[in-house]
Amino acid sequence: MALRNSTLSGPAIARTECAGAAGGARRGRRAGSRDRDSGAGPPPKAEPRVRAAAAMAIFSVYVVNKAGGLIYQLDSYAPRAEAEKTFSYPLDLLLKLHDERVLVAFGQRDGIRVGHAVLAINGADVNGKYTADGKEVLEYLGNPANYPVSIRFGRPRLTSNEKLMLASMFHSLFAIGSQLSPEQGSSGIEMLETDTFKLHCFQTLTGIKFVVLADPRQAGIDSLLRKIYEIYSDFALKNPFYSLEMPIRCELFDQNLKLALEVAEKAGTFGPGS
Amino acid sequence: MSRQANRGTESKKMSSELFTLTYGALVTQLCKDYENDEDVNKQLDKMGYNIGVRLIEDFLARSNVGRCHDFRETADVIAKVAFKMYLGITPSITNWSPAGDEFSLILENNPLVDFVELPDNHSSLIYSNLLCGVLRGALEMVQMAVEAKFVQDTLKGDSVTEIRMRFIRRIEDNLPAGEE
């Protein structure tokens, strides 16, 4: 899985300027036990702040309506593998434009990997293939006058369009899952396991799916899913201005969901070895 | 599956009188807005339906009941769990049709009509018609098309209030995957 790659690349990056990135890398090591074997990583610097980030064990929440449309999505993890470097002209990496993003095509070094995207230039986030002030990234980097320049690279995040697409794809897989079953009356996919995360899915009797991506050792996800269902029925459905089946844009829903995730992360006990 | 017992919204108690009065104000306003009682009944049913399609999620999230595979099971859940949860009453289930697709809910005391006297010029108003809409909307979301209507009403001089429920069909086309 693609996610595994990014986690394995974690130890190679020793960035201290960005607490989020460092925390992410540390969490990556915790999540994938075989990372420890790779041994290349720097000794973990145990700052309290970083520890807090490392305890985050629920990565994402998705809510899919009965037609397979994504109506809510929340990411609650810091980016894992990011690298920032200051370059002088000419750029010694080969960049290419792919899918409205600027990716590294060749020239893997210093934690910058082939496939990583340009995330920020001189500290300002880029917007797809455009810089924060609307210039094309490739053009900007082609101009010697703009150097030295500091570029942050990282694994490209899923765009909201991609999330939408993946959610409806999962919706279909769920249905295929129940059709494949040799037994009568089997449910669809309730859990998917990879070596870095587990996907838990709960479908209500009315056909809404709640999907949680979490650390494989995170416990208590079943009750978290029920809790999210309650939060949905309370703060989305009971809001008279929320229309059914439509994207959830409710402040209270957001707040309560985040609260529930925090509680679940604290309560969910890790297995041995953590 | 453990459920948290104390929830913010559940612990809040509210006066049932305020609820009854609010419903009364709603119905009288509808009576002013619409010329005839038929239209008011229709509006109440529509509002109830919109409540029902949302309320069902709350009900399922909170009650932990599974899917019903029989209309008798459904009747039991409606009377003993749903009515209890939302109105604090437990209607009795009677008058099953021989085919098992129709039954009556007998409400001995309907909290919506605590202070209500129906005036003569509103003889065809079905005051509590909202409830029928709620039942219809909620059951539709769990793939059951039903018809619900009042056949007796204490407001009209009957001794009890009776809601007649009729099962029409299972809505197969939007059955979620994995539910046979």
Number of folded domains in chain B? 1
The answer to whether the Cβ–Cβ distance between B178 and A174 falls below 8 Å is: yes
Residue B44's CATH number = 3.30.1380.20
What is the distance in angstroms between the Cα of A168 and the nearest Cα belonging to chain B? Answer: 13
Answer whether B134's CB lies under 8 Å from B146's CB: no
Residue B143 lies in a domain: yes
Task: Nearest chain B residue to A176 by CA: give it.
Answer: B177
Determine the topology of domain A83-154 in CATH.
Pdz3 Domain (2.30.42)
Give the whole-number percent of chain B exceeding pLDDT 70: 92
**Does pLDDT of A183 surpass 90?**
no
- pLDDT value of position A71: 95
Per-residue pLDDT averaged across A150-174, rounded? 89
- A12-26, A196-210, B92-106, B147-161, range with the lowest pLDDT: A12-26
| Chain A residues with CB within 8 Å of chain B CB | 66, 174-175, 177-179, 184-188, 203-208, 222-223, 226-227, 229-230, 232-234, 237-238, 244
Is residue B179 a part of any domain in this protein? no
- CA-to-CA distance for A35 and A8, rounded, in angstroms? 6
| Residue closest to A4 by CA, chosen among A81, A57, A68 | A81
Residue A29, pLDDT score: 39
Q: What is the pLDDT confidence band of residue B58, given thresholds at 50, 70 and 90?
A: very high
CA B171 vs. chain centroid, Å, equals 20
Long-range pairs for A35-38: beta carbons < 8 A, 24 or more residues apart? A35/A7, A35/A8, A35/A10, A35/A11, A38/A8, A38/A11
Q: What is the pTM of this model?
A: 0.75
Q: Say if B175 falls within a structural domain.
A: no
Q: pLDDT tier at A22 (50, 70, 90 boundaries)?
A: very low
Residue B137 lies in a domain: yes
Instruction: Report residue B54's pLDDT band, with 50, 70 and 90 as the boundaries.
Output: very high
Q: Residue A80 contacts by C-beta under 8 Å, 6 or more apart in sequence?
A: A6, A7, A10, A21, A24, A25, A27, A28, A155
Q: What is the pLDDT of residues B82-126, one digit of tens each?
A: 999 999 999 999 999 999 999 999 998 898 998 899 998 998 999
Reported ipTM: the value is 0.85
Contact A22, A16 (CB under 8 A): yes
State mean pLDDT over A214-219.
Answer: 90
Q: Which stretch of DSSP H or E encloses residue B165? A: strand B161-170
pLDDT band per the 50, 70, 90 thresholds, residue A156? confident
Q: How confident is the model at residue A233 (pLDDT cuts 50, 70, 90)?
A: very high
**How far is the alpha carbon of B154 from chain A, nearest alpha carbon, in Å?**
31
Question: pLDDT for A110-155, tens place per residue?
Answer: 788 888 888 888 888 888 788 888 888 888 888 888 888 888 888 8
Where along chain A do its domains lie? 11-38, 58-78+159-267, 83-154
Please tell me the distance from the alpha carbon of residue B112 to that of residue B106, in angstroms, as a whole number: 14
What is the average pLDDT score of chain A?
78
Question: What is the C-alpha to C-alpha distance for residues B63 and B85, in angstroms, rounded to an integer?
Answer: 9
Q: Say whether A150 sits in a helix, a strand or coil.
A: strand
Give residues with Cβ within 8 angstroms of A54, minimum separation 6. A23, A26, A27, A30
Separation between Cα atoms, residue A240 and residue A223, nearest integer Å: 27
Locate the chain A residue with the closest alpha carbon to B65: A205
* Residues of chain B contacting A246 with CB distance shorter than 8 Å: none
Q: Which residues of B touch A225 (CB under 8 A)?
A: none
**B151 CA to chain A: closest CA distance, Å?**
29
Residue of B nearest to A183 (CA): B178
Angstroms from B6 CA to nearest CA on chain A: 12
In which domain, by residue range, is B98 found? 36-170
Q: What is the rounded distance in angstroms from the CA atom of residue A157 to the CA atom of residue A211? A: 18
Q: Residues of chain A with pLDDT > 90: what percent? A: 35
Residue B28 is assigned to a structural domain of this protein = no
Q: Which residues of A touch B177 (CB under 8 A)?
A: 174-175, 177-179, 188, 203
> A58-78+159-267 has which CATH code?
3.30.450.70
The structure tokens listed for A261 are 């995730």
List the strands of the sheet with B92-94, edge to edge. Answer: B92-94, B102-107, B161-170, B144-152
B62 contacts on A by Cβ (under 8 Å): 230, 233
Q: pLDDT, tens digit, for every residue of A250-271? A: 999 999 999 999 999 888 655 4
> Using an 8 Å Cβ cutoff, are A245 and A65 in contact?
yes
CA distance B69 to chain A (A): 12
